[in-house]
Structure 1
Amino acid sequence: MELRPATTADWLTDRVLRGMLGTVMRLPYEKRVRTMGRIVANGIGPISGYRKRAETNLAMVYPDQTPEDRRAMATAVCDNFGRTLIENYSWREFGPRLAETAPTGDGLNALENARATNKPVIFVTGHIGNHEAPRHVLTQTGLTIGGLYRPMANPHFNAHYAKTMSSWGGPVFAQGRQGTIGFAKHLKSGGMATLLFDVANSGGINIPFMGHAARTATSAADLALRFNAEVIPYFGIRKPDGFGFDVHVEAPIAPDTPDAMMAEMTKRLEARITATPSQWFWVHRRWKQPKTPKS
């Protein structure tokens, strides 16, 4: 995925965002996280249209939800979005705060076996809770975990966003030809890396997601089959206190056709969303379909 040329509007937007992030980063950690959550929930979310988009998606998936409950959940979604953003910029503090978090789940034995045999591992997850929490927790057990990420549309903002992600853990690759080649080489050498699969992909396949067809890339399954990699879903679910996390490492996805594997990954994510719906990023255009060519 190649970044588009930067515009003056991109530069101005980035200046505002950098200033806001710099100001919030000066606060003590918990106040910083709480403040950024409120800023996105009550300011950026409504102004940018994120809250409205979340409400639209929620209305599609939960049609019986009252408008008041929908607004409250969309606000909570934006709050989690803000908290996640500043936590990831605060990686020097975020990681150590997770030092006492013990991962749980049926995938831990498979992960240990992969480590012992130098078998590649693709961790798959979605934008729920904080998707970087599991990587922080597992790297503290001695693992090196990289990732493949989708660059931000704003090239100026993407520059420091990418730097933040690559500052710890393992090699991080941007989606696109060069990034995918680097990601593949990392796996081929027995590496471990994370891939988020819950964003719309115009070239993907339609898979039912929360009751509606969603275009889904098959990259995770394709790479796993190509390199005989273990595919292990993991999730970092925010605790009620708003700062701690439960890290779940699930049983591996069995090798199958790419379509079947992606369908199973999607079901795993659906279960997490159903349990904690306000923690998924409903602000995404997840059900966006390709435009029909004009005849």
Structure 2
Amino acid sequence: MRHDSEDLPWRTKLAYLATNAVARGCIGAALALPYTWRVPFMGWILSRIVGPAAGFKKRAAEHIALVLPELPSTEHDRIARKSLDNAGRTLIENYSTGALLARQKGAEINGPGIEALEQAAQSGQPVILVTGHFGNYEALRATLVGRGYDVGGLYRDMSNPYFNAHYVRTMQAFGGPVFAQGRKGTAGFVRHLKAGGQLVLLFDQHVQRAPILDFLGHPARTAVSAAELALRYNARLIPFYGIRKPDGLGFDCVMEAPIVPSDPETMTQAMNDSIGARIRANPEQWLWVARRWRIDEYYPETAT
């Protein structure tokens, strides 16, 4: 949740200002480089310097060990490092709006979901595109924008208001309306949906008091709001992914078959299964640092 900078304790404000200054410095330095250099540079910064220093690499490796205990610890560390590399690349790609839009314009989209999207657009049926912090979903959104789609999104404000201010501008620059979570944002989101628009929702984060569903073989609280909205407004619910290619710069854009309408929890479990399969196929591309599983909630004997 974002806080008003005027209401922050001075120690917190100083910490947020310092964090934002470092982040802006790294982003600014990266943006001064040619695109094909800046993307791997930012991946290196996050995976080799910031991630280990901030404890992100250790936390990611612990989560990987929970899900993939059969792998050796060296492999857990490797996946954690590559995951942070992907996060760094994604961050600077999303700040390179014009370049990413240009690179993705005319890119191929595979999977049955693209046909379902086209049919829905022709008939005026709304579409909810669901994905997670995997690869870079903005790459596929940029591809759809290049095809003339006005794809909006709902986002969660970051706790650091100084960083949040300029990060939100990067999302808005891709085209299509973006709405902050909350009463006002949700109202605009719903209006866009009811008008037959297309909207993106990320569903792979822990949400307090949400139903407990299976995620990669472990219980995890998962918001069912995307499925509820799809049922309420007769929207197609389509999982989609921008999967990073081995060259680290390009993407395979995939839109899967729409989730079959049933009930919110069944539909959301199908979404979990969809992204879960993608993560197992390419574990280096998911944001393992996120606290997806609150381990002490489900496994109290592991709490410290």
Report the equivalent of 1:185.
191
Deviation at 1:290, TM superposition (A): 8.8
- Which deviates more from structure 2 when the two are superposed, residues 6-15 or residues 58-67? 6-15
Question: Would the aligned equivalents of 2:64 and 2:76 in 1 still touch at CA under 8 Å?
Answer: yes
In the TM superposition, residue 3 of structure 1 has moved relative to its aligned partner by 3.2
Runs of 4+ in 1 over 6 A off after TM superposition: 289-292
Kindly indicate which of the two structures has a greater share of residues assigned to helix. Answer: 2
Q: Distance in 2 between matches of 1:289 and 1:57?
A: 10
Q: Distance in 2 between matches of 1:163 and 1:98?
A: 20
**Alignment TM-score, normalising by the size of structure 1:** 0.96
Q: Which amino acid aligns with 2:224?
A: T
Inter-partner Cα distance in structure 1 for 2:93 and 2:174: 13
**Structure 2 residue 264 is matched with structure 1 residue 264:** no
> Helix, strand or coil for the counterpart of 1:231?
strand
Candidates 200, 203, 213, aligned match of 2:219: 213
Other-structure match for 2:88: 82
Moved more, 28-37 or 167-176: 167-176
Structure 1 alignment gaps of length 5 or more: none
Measured after TM superposition, the shift of residue 108 of structure 1 is: 1.8
Aligned partners of 1:107 and 1:17: how far apart in 2? 36
Larger mean Cα displacement after TM superposition, 93-102 or 82-91: 93-102
Task: Give the match for residue 55 of structure 1.
Answer: 61
2:249 matched to which residue of 1? Answer: 243
Cα drift, residue 32 of structure 1? 0.3
Are the counterparts in 2 of residues 2 and 176 from structure 1 also a CA contact under 8 Å? no
d(CA) in 1 for partners of 2:151, 2:94 = 16
**What whole-Å deviation, never above 9, does each CA across 1:139-163 have from its counterpart, x for those lacking one?**
1111110001111111110000111
- The corresponding residue for 2:143 is 137
Q: Does 1:107 align with 2:113?
A: yes
Asked if 1:3 corresponds to 2:3, the answer is: yes
Letter in 2 for 1:42: R
Q: For residue 252 of structure 2, give the secondary structure of its aligned residue in structure 1.
A: strand
Of 5-14 and 144-153, deviating more is 5-14
Q: Which runs of 5+ in 2 are unaligned?
A: 299-304
Matched-pair identity in %: 49
Partner residue of 2:236 out of 217, 230, 233: 230
**Pairing 1:32–2:33 present:** no
Q: 2 CA distance for matches of 1:191 and 1:99?
A: 20
Q: Is the 8 A contact 1:151 1:158 kept in 2?
A: yes
| Superposed CA offset, 1:224-265 (max 9, x none) | 111111111100000000000000011101111110110001
Aligned to 1:163: 169
Contact 2:105 2:147 in 1 (8 A): no
Instruction: Verify the 8 A CA contact 1:214 1:289 in the aligned structure 2.
Output: no
The CA deviation at 1:95 is: 1.3
Deviation digits for residues 22-57 of structure 1 (CA, Å, limit 9, x no counterpart):
111100001000100000010011011111111000
**CA-CA distance at 1:67 after TM superposition:** 1.2
Amino acid of the structure 2 residue aligned with 1:184? V
| 8 Å Cα contact 1:253-1:261 kept in structure 2 | yes
Q: CA RMSD in A?
A: 1.4
Following superposition, the deviation at residue 100 of structure 1 comes to 3.9
TM, length-normalised to structure 2: 0.93
**What's the offset of the Cα at 1:266?**
0.6
Give the conservation status (yes or no) of the 8 Å contact 1:84–1:130. yes
* Separation (CA, whole Å) in 2 of partners of 1:97 and 1:262: 32
Q: Does residue 152 of the first structure (1) align with residue 158 of the second (2)?
A: yes
CA distance in 2: counterparts of 1:3 and 1:247, whole angstroms: 35
Shift of 1:2: 5.3
CA–CA separation in structure 2 for the residues paired with 1:291 and 1:211: 16
Give the superposition deviation at 1:168.
Answer: 2.1
Q: Residues of 1 paired with 2:209 and 2:293: CA distance?
A: 13
Amino acid at match of 2:71: Q
Counterpart-to-counterpart distance in 2, 1:24 and 1:105: 34
Aligned length: 292
